[in-house]
Structure 1
Amino acid sequence: MSRARSEKRDLAYNMWIESGGKMMLIDIAAALDISSDQVRQWKRKDRWADKIDLSNNHVTNESVINHTEEVEPSQPEAKKNSGRFQPGNRASVGHGPPKGSRNAAGPRSGDPYKGNNNATKHGFRKMVFPDDEETHAILNEIQTLSPLDILWDQIQIQYLAIARAQKIMWVRDQEDRTEVLKRERRGKNPEKEWELQHAWDKQATFLQAQSRAMQTLERLIARYEELLIKDLDVEEQQLKIEKLKAELEKIKNPNPEADLKSYLDALKTTAEEVWPNEEPEDKEEVPEGEADDK
């Protein structure tokens, strides 16, 4: 005895037809409380796609029957359909995109879509850092810092951590004991488990942590001084190169007048450095008659 046709089968078909073939099968399955595989099987067996015409939105409840007369196609049409489906074939009906779809269309303005990453060099930042304004501001600020600046910030942060730990982990005296609640059980038989931290345990932990932090700070300072010396050497080398370029330029374009002017300016500067506060002595006024006699 064959099993009776399910009422949900017709309901699923009607829901799909009324939506113009646009309703998702998974939504139909959710509305009827059945699996989407079952709806997909009904659609295939009952040939739903043959009963809806998406080109003109004409819907029928009966199977579509092709009543066109068999007419021998003309020569151009026969050549056009050569190797393809026969005229009147509806195998592709219902399988294309809905009318008005822009799935294959690009952006109207010609610009990339929102969220496009074509210009991204690599996805490291996007994968590691959160995508918010504060993080981006910090990253942009880092771009303007030199390795020396970053290293100096690390030194300050490390020193600040050591100073704060000195206050937080300070052991008052030998009687300084701390009780920490590790576990608590509630109910008919309540129970609490405490961990006792004695003064010598806290002091030993503090000394170990402080020693490691101090060693890290010393390494950072040593590295900072090393980079600082290298930067000074680089600056000195650049000054030497600029001086050498200036001397080569003088050799290529000699200018005696300019050299003489430079020499006189140098003499003037040297004289001012040697006698900075001396003023020229006033000459004695000689009468005109005596001057003529002389």
Structure 2
Amino acid sequence: MPKAERSEARDKAFEIWRVGKGKMPLVGIAELLGVPAVKVRKWKYEDEWEAKIGKRPAKRTSQKKKKTRSPTKKKSVTKKAEKKFAILGNKNFFEGEKSPPKNSTTTAKEQTKNCTSDKKTKEHGNKTAQLGNKNAVGHGAPKRNRNAVKTGEYQTVYQDALTDEERAVYESAQTDIMAALDEEIRIQAVRKFRMEKLYREMAERKEDFDVTDIYEYKEQDTVVSVSDEMGEPQEAVVKKRQKIPVKRVENRKTMDDKMLAATQAAVRVDRQRLSTIVEKAKLEQGKKALELKERKLNAEDW
């Protein structure tokens, strides 16, 4: 078969990466050339781009020796070893239980299933919930709640859940370079605004109360209304497990630690935003270098 021709995009990708001094992300090169990022990574590995610009020495290819294995001998199973194996489905491993009678009509699979269910009942008792129950339905936190927010650094930003102030910050965020990273820069700007707002609220409160309620579960007699066989209403006493509050613990804490954590998180978010802008600048520089090279090639053709 004829050998496939080398792709022109492969050489262009290396030139863009070399012009950027090896700092340009491969994802950006793939976007400029319109090829998958996986292919650019493969080109970089196979063509040894880092070795070409002197970042590291070239690889030394060495042939690996194939290991030969000696043929294994099959060992014959003796009659003594055969006697050690138990029959499938027996209950010998349960203490105090006898194996099923010989005339039993149950299969080995059913016997094994019964053994497993009996073992689970002994271990857990009746504490486990039944299969398909809906005890937790309706008791979860509301959608897109902020119960776990501490500093807001890693909080997810949803466009349809923004307040009026956050939407104004989102729309007014300045982005001058490629539109591929505009969304990330805007999200980081909103996240920074939320953290600064949280810091101001902490500074106004100065103190924080951490309240913890301690409960215990007790069975109490409860009167419920039931109907008898004739459909007449009657009262019955039923024991129900109820959650009873025992005591409340209040811890007074200063906001200094939380304010310090919010400040450090805001600094990290600002650094991420700046690094995103720098990455966009590198992509723009690589794009300009590619356009300049194409112009030179077109001029040489003329």
**Normalised-by-shorter TM-score class:** under 0.3
Q: Highest Rg: 1 or 2?
A: 1
- TM-score w.r.t. structure 1 length? 0.28
Give the helix-richer structure, 1 or 2.
Answer: 1
Of structures 1 and 2, the one with the larger relative CO (CA 8 A, separation 6+) is: 2
